[in-house]
C-alpha cells in the first residue's frame, strides 16, 4: 500500500503513514534568512506581520537557521570567522500569534523538544566579540562540532565530548511601541559609547518578514537588534530552558507574537565566549495563557520552570572560585569580575593538561558548566564559583 500523506507543513513521526498533526515551518538549510524572509525576522518590532496564528493549547514546530545566518562553513579555514557580519544575527522564525492572548497576560510556552537541523554546530571566538576575555584572542578561534544526538565532538578540541542540553538561545515576544521606544531611549547612549549593538548603521541587513518598501523602512528605523535579552525575553541564553521547560512571558501586545531562533546544542552558564555550540535547529512549542498574569504576579521579565532533563554528573565537577579582587585591584561586590577571575583560573588550570587557552575558553563556554554566586553580601568581595564537569574529558584532570 502506498501512502500519500503530505508532510510539507506538518510535523512527522518516524512512521511514514503517521502525521503528528502539528503545523511545521521549514527552514531551507544553507539559505540566509533574507532569501527565505517569509519565515521570520532578525529584529524586534510589534509591526512585523505574524507568520502563523494558533489557539490556546495548540502546538507548532519551528525551524530556524543558526545565529550566524549560514555564514559559517564546515571547513578548517577560518576566514569566515573574520568576515562575519554581526548585523545578520539572529535569524528568528515567527512571530506566532496566539488567539485569546492580550497585553497584560502571561503567555505560557511549553518547550516540548529541541533538535539539531543540519547536524553541524559552531562555537567560535569571534575577533573583537569574544566575551570578557576577547583581548586574549585577537585572532579569534574557530571550532566546528559534529552533533551526534546525545553528544558533540570537535576535531579542533580532541579528547572532549559535550553532552546535549539543547535550547533556544533566543525566544521572546514582541515589544509594544511604548516598550520599544523605552529600549531605544535607554540603549542609544550606550550605542554611542560602543557598549551596545548599533541600530541605524545595521539597518540595511534588517529582515522583517514580508514588509517591503515604505513599511520596511518605517519599521527598520526603530526596530531593536536581537543581541541583548530584554523584558520580552529574547537572547536569554539560559542552558536549562531546554526540552520539558515551561516559560512565562509577560505580554506587551495582543497575540503575544512569539519568535524563536539561535538554537544551541549545549552551553555553559554565562556563554562566556559569546558562543554556545550554535546550530540550526527545530523547536516544538505549545501555548497557553494566564489572564492578567503580569499584574496578578508582578511579572516584568520572563520566568521559567527549567527542564527536568540534565546531564547527570552527580558530584563529579572541579569547582574554581573567583573574587572581585586580584593583586592590587579591588572592586566592590562585582560579580562580573569574580566570574572572570574563576574563568581565568580554569583556563590556566586546563592548560596544565594540554589544552590551549583557546580550547579551554571554548570548553568552558559550551560544556554544561555551572556558574553560581557564592556570596554577594560580604563586603567588599563578591565570590563566584565555576563548576567544570570532569567526565567530558578523556583524561583525569583532578590534581594529584
For 312, residues 6+ apart whose C-beta sits below 8 A from its C-beta are: none
d(CA 365, CA 266): 9
* Phi, psi angles (nearest 5°) of residue 389: -65, 135
d(CA 243, CA 307): 6
Q: What is the pTM of this model?
A: 0.94
**Is 160 in contact with 392 (CB distance < 8 Å)?**
yes
**Per-residue confidence (pLDDT) for residue 10, from 0 to 100:** 57
CA dihedral of residues 261, 264, 270, 272 (deg, nearest 10):
-110
**Is 221 in contact with 201 (CB distance < 8 Å)?**
no
Q: Which grid cell is 183?
A: 529600549
Q: Which grid cell is 137?
A: 584572542
**Is 170 in contact with 260 (CB distance < 8 Å)?**
yes
Domain range summary for the chain, segments of one domain joined by +: 10-305, 317-392
**Per-residue confidence (pLDDT) for residue 149, from 0 to 100:** 87
Can you name the residues that pair with 362 across neighbouring β-strands?
none
Give the CATH H-level superfamily of domain 10-305. Acetamidase/Formamidase-like domains (2.60.120.580)
Angle at 269 between CA 264 and CA 274, to 5 degrees: 60
How many Cα atoms are found within 13 Å in the side-chain-facing hemisphere of 216? 14
Q: Compute mean pLDDT per 10 residues along the chain, 400 residues long, and list them.
A: 46 62 93 98 98 97 97 95 95 98 98 96 94 94 95 98 98 98 96 89 93 97 97 97 98 98 98 97 97 98 95 95 97 97 98 98 98 96 98 96
d(CA 113, CA 166): 9
**Per-residue confidence (pLDDT) for residue 3, from 0 to 100:** 44
Can you name the residues that pair with 171 across neighbouring β-strands?
234, 260
**Per-residue confidence (pLDDT) for residue 19, from 0 to 100:** 67
From its phi and psi, is residue 183 left (phi > 0), alpha (psi between -120 and 50) or beta?
alpha
Amino acid at each position: 500500500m502506498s501512502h500519500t500523506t503530505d508532510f510539507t507543513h506538518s510535523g512527522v513521526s518516524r512512521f511514514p503513514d503517521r502525521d503528528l498533526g502539528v503545523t511545521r515551518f521549514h527552514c531551507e538549510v544553507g539559505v540566509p534568512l533574507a532569501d527565505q524572509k517569509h519565515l521570520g525576522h532578525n529584529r524586534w518590532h510589534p509591526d512585523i506581520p505574524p507568520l502563523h496564528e494558533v489557539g490556546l493549547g495548540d502546538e507548532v514546530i519551528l525551524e530556524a537557521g543558526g545565529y550566524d545566518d549560514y555564514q559559517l562553513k564546515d571547513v578548517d579555514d577560518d576566514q569566515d570567522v573574520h568576515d562575519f557580519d554581526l548585523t545578520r544575527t539572529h535569524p528568528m522564525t515567527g512571530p506566532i500569534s496566539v488567539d485569546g492572548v492580550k497585553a497584560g497576560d502571561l503567555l505560557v510556552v511549553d518547550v516540548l523538544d529541541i533538535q539539531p537541523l543540519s547536524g553541524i554546530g559552531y562555537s567560535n571566538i569571534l575577533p573583537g566579540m569574544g566575551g570578557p576575555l576577547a583581548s586574549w584572542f585577537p585572532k579569534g578561534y574557530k571550532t566546528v562540532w559534529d552533533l551526534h544526538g546525545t553528544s558533540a565532538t570537535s576535531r579542533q578540541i580532541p579528547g572532549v565530548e559535550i553532552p546535549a542540553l539543547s535550547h533556544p538561545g533566543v525566544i521572546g515576544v514582541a515589544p509594544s511601541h511604548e516598550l520599544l521606544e523605552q529600549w531605544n531611549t535607554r540603549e542609544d547612549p550606550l550605542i554611542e559609547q560602543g557598549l551596545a549593538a548599533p541600530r541605524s548603521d545595521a539597518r540595511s541587513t534588517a529582515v522583517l518578514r514580508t514588509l517591503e518598501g515604505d513599511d520596511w523602512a518605517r519599521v527598520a528605523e526603530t526596530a531593536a537588534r536581537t543581541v541583548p535579552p530584554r523584558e520580552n525575553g529574547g537572547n536569554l541564553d539560559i542552558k536549562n530552558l531546554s526540552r520539558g521547560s515551561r516559560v512565562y512571558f509577560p505580554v506587551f501586545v495582543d497575540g503575544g507574537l512569539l519568535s524563536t531562533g539561535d538554537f544551541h546544542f549545549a552551553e555553559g552558564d554565562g556563554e562566556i565566549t559569546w558562543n554556545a555550540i550554535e546550530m540550526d535547529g527545530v523547536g516544538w512549542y505549545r501555548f497557553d495563557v494566564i489572564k492578567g498574569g503580569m499584574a496578578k504576579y508582578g511579572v516584568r521579565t520572563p520566568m521559567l520552570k527549567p527542564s527536568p532533563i540534565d546531564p547527570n554528573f552527580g558530584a563529579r565537577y572541579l569547582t574554581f572560585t573567583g573574587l572581585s579582587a586580584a593583586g592590587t585591584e579591588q572592586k566592590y561586590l562585582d560579580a562580573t569580575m569574580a566570574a572572570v577571575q574563576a574563568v581565568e583560573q580554569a583556563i590556566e588550570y586546563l592548560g596544565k593538561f594540554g589544552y590551549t587557552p583557546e580550547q579551554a575558553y571554548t570548553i568552558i563556554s559550551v560544556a554544561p558548566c555551572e556558574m553560581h554566586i557564592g556570596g554577594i553580601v560580604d563586603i567588599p568581595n563578591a565570590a563566584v564559583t565555576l563548576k567544570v564537569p570532569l567526565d567530558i574529558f578523556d583524561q583525569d584532570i583532578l590534581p594529584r
